[in-house]
């Protein structure tokens, strides 16, 4: 009845035409996975379907079952490979996914969300979740509320779908380090266990320093400005797990499995470092504890509510700004009717100014309404959790 999961995750940085050494890196990733012992692989930022099909063909010998989660304009970038049959597949797209006008960030175009593959190993069921939360982009974190609500939506989705599984595993780029609000939401609500806290070998300081996954000094694509601040990098790529009530998990191994450079090359496998964990799952030798105590999430929930409320305030200010600018441009355009000089140059100016006017008005109306409703939906769910906890506590007091 015991079984072992060897899980691997990597943000592959596979943006066609942008990511450096993409072809060579995907070939190296495939070569590594062909020889590895990993039996479940979760990848992010596989933005090209051709790259996914290349990996699928390369890994059909040892990881014959796979699925690519199609979504949005570019695709979610998420895919899962497995040694065992995928019994069920589902993708949940988040309502908040960044901004359409932030084209250089591109998160909105990916239609991001969380993918679920329910894998069957004999009579055992394994829920494997793959996801990629919104990035910070090393600037004022204008996406904090988006990432927080993505984390909450992810946590709720996992919380509502783990029941049939003997063990659930979440792997991916959370763009959140331990201690960050988004990370606390994901780990406290379902709840999920971080193998970092279970691996006794992590008492070794050398191993602790090697676990950074983003902008670490040993990665050839790291941002040197970030390396100066934190040479070991941020641990934002994770594999988290939750055993069923009748099972327990032993962490056999945990770390960054890939070498710092692709063999024979001067570059790394990706701009992120990979993460792998070996989980030995066995029946619990004692009576299962079915009690649920999410007291740790109470304060986290309150923090998330504050972030959402602040985001709604800022969004209202942004609406006023867009409508003011758009309205002024419209008034100027109407006032100058009949006074515009003739000529192609002035026609181009009129088209550009008119486009800017409509751009501001759309951001202040349609786009504002979409984002505000998404924020309200997330805030309502968080408030409902707090109300439920208060009701439960009052019921215990009245007893």
Cβ(112)–Cβ(72) under 8 Å?
yes
In whole angstroms, what is the distance from residue 243 CA to residue 283 CA?
10
Residue appearing with tokens 């908040």: 96
**H helix or E strand, kind and range, residue 126:** strand 124-132
The active-site residue, picked from 272, 280, 368, 391, is 272
181-188 and 144-161 helices, crossing angle to 10°: 10
In whole angstroms, what is the distance from residue 235 CA to residue 67 CA?
26
- Which of 221, 225, 211 has the alpha carbon at shortest distance from 139? 225
State the CB neighbour count (10 A cutoff) for residue 368.
Answer: 18
The pair of three-digit structure tokens given for residue 79, joined into one six-digit string: 């895919």
In whole angstroms, what is the distance from residue 207 CA to residue 32 CA?
22
The pair of three-digit structure tokens given for residue 271, joined into one six-digit string: 């701009």
211: left (phi over 0), alpha (psi -120 to 50) or beta: alpha
22-35 and 49-58 helices, crossing angle to 10°: 30
* C-alpha pair distances (Å), 213 with each of 16, 60, 209, 272, 334: 22, 27, 10, 5, 54
In whole angstroms, what is the distance from residue 107 CA to residue 99 CA?
8
372: left (phi over 0), alpha (psi -120 to 50) or beta: alpha
- Which of 5, 38, 80, 69 has the alpha carbon at shortest distance from 242? 5
368-398 and 295-335 helices, crossing angle to 10°: 160
Residue 272 is among the residues annotated as catalytic for this protein: yes
Instruction: Return the SS3 of 24.
Output: helix
What's the DSSP call for residue 169? Answer: E
Supply the residues annotated as catalytic.
Answer: 272
């Amino acid at each position: 009845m015991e079984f072992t999961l060897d899980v691997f995750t990597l943000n592959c940085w596979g943006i066609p035409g942008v990511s450096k050494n993409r072809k060579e890196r995907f070939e190296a990733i495939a070569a590594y996975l062909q020889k590895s012992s990993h039996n479940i692989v979760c990848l992010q930022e596989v933005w090209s379907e051709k790259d996914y099909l290349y990996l699928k063909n390369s890994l059909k010998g040892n990881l014959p079952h796979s699925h690519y989660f199609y979504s949005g304009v570019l695709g979610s970038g998420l895919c899962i490979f497995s040694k065992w049959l995928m019994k069920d597949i589902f993708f949940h797209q988040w309502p908040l996914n960044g901004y359409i006008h932030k084209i250089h960030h591109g998160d909105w175009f990916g239609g991001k969300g969380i993918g679920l593959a329910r894998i069957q190993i004999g009579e055992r069921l394994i829920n494997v979740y793959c996801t990629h939360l919104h990035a910070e982009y090393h600037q004022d974190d204008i996406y904090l509320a988006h990432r927080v609500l993505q984390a909450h939506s992810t946590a709720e989705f996992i919380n509502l779908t783990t029941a049939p599984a003997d063990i659930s595993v979440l792997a991916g780029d959370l763009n959140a380090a331990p201690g960050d609000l988004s990370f606390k939401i994901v780990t406290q609500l379902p709840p999920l266990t971080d193998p970092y806290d279970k691996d006794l070998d992590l008492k070794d300081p050398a191993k602790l320093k090697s676990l950074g996954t983003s902008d670490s000094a040993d990665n050839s694509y790291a941002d040197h400005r970030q390396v100066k601040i934190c040479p070991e990098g941020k641990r934002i790529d994770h594999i988290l797990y939750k055993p069923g009530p009748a099972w327990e998990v032993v962490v056999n191994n945990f770390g960054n499995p890939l070498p710092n450079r692709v063999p024979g090359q001067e570059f790394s496998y990706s701009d992120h470092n990979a993460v792998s964990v070996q989980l030995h799952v066995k029946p619990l030798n004692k009576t299962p504890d079915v009690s649920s105590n999410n007291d740790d999430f109470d304060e986290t929930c309150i923090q998330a509510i504050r972030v959402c409320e602040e985001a709604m305030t800022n969004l209202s200010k942004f609406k006023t700004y867009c409508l003011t600018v758009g309205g002024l441009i419209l008034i100027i355009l109407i006032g100058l009717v009949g006074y515009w000089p003739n000529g192609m140059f002035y026609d181009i100016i009129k088209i550009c100014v008119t486009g800017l006017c409509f751009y501001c008005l759309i951001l202040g109306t349609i786009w504002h309404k979409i984002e505000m409703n998404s924020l309200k939906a997330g805030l309502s769910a968080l408030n409902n959790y707090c109300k439920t906890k208060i009701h439960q506590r009052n019921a215990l007091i009245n007893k």
